[in-house]
Amino acid sequence: MKKDICVIDDDEIYQKIIRKLITRAGVFEKAFFYMNAVDALEDLKNPETSLPSVILLDINMPAMDGWQFIELLQDSYPSLFSKCDIYIVTSSIAYSDKEKMEDLPGLAGFLSKPINVDKLVEIGEAVK
């Protein structure tokens, strides 16, 4: 089974770190990186683009936050959560973020930054 991962996060330093960690984990064939949810949504809604196996999604981003991204992506893919494992990845410790996650039971999980190689391997091995 093909395993692709998509990282959507506006933090340049995190992007550099997660690229290296994904490579070290060695469980994903392809990785796609977006600095904002608007560009990611545009690409993922393209009928010629297939959904990745996993999305690591920051929730606190300018222009469009992670929650808005999920809502708009679900409009294009009503069975989104059965096709793609979406993990909320954040440095936020706000309880309200965890409450919002409970409203979306299809989410694969809530991860606190920083993520490590072992966690990426675990995520890759758990792909639907």
pTM value surpassing 0.85: yes
How far is Cα 36 from Cα 116, in angstroms, rounded to an integer? Answer: 22
Q: Comparing 1-15, 16-30, 75-89, 91-105, which segment has the lowest mean pLDDT? A: 91-105
Domain 4-89+103-125 has what CATH class?
alpha beta
**pLDDT value at position 42?**
95
Q: Name which of 31, 26, 32, 33 is nearest 9 in CA terms.
A: 33
Summarised one tens digit per residue, pLDDT across range 33-58 is: 999 999 999 999 988 888 999 999 99
**What confidence tens digit (pLDDT) does each residue in 62-90 have?**
999 999 999 999 988 888 888 899 999 98
pLDDT per residue over 5-15, tens digit each?
A: 999 999 999 99
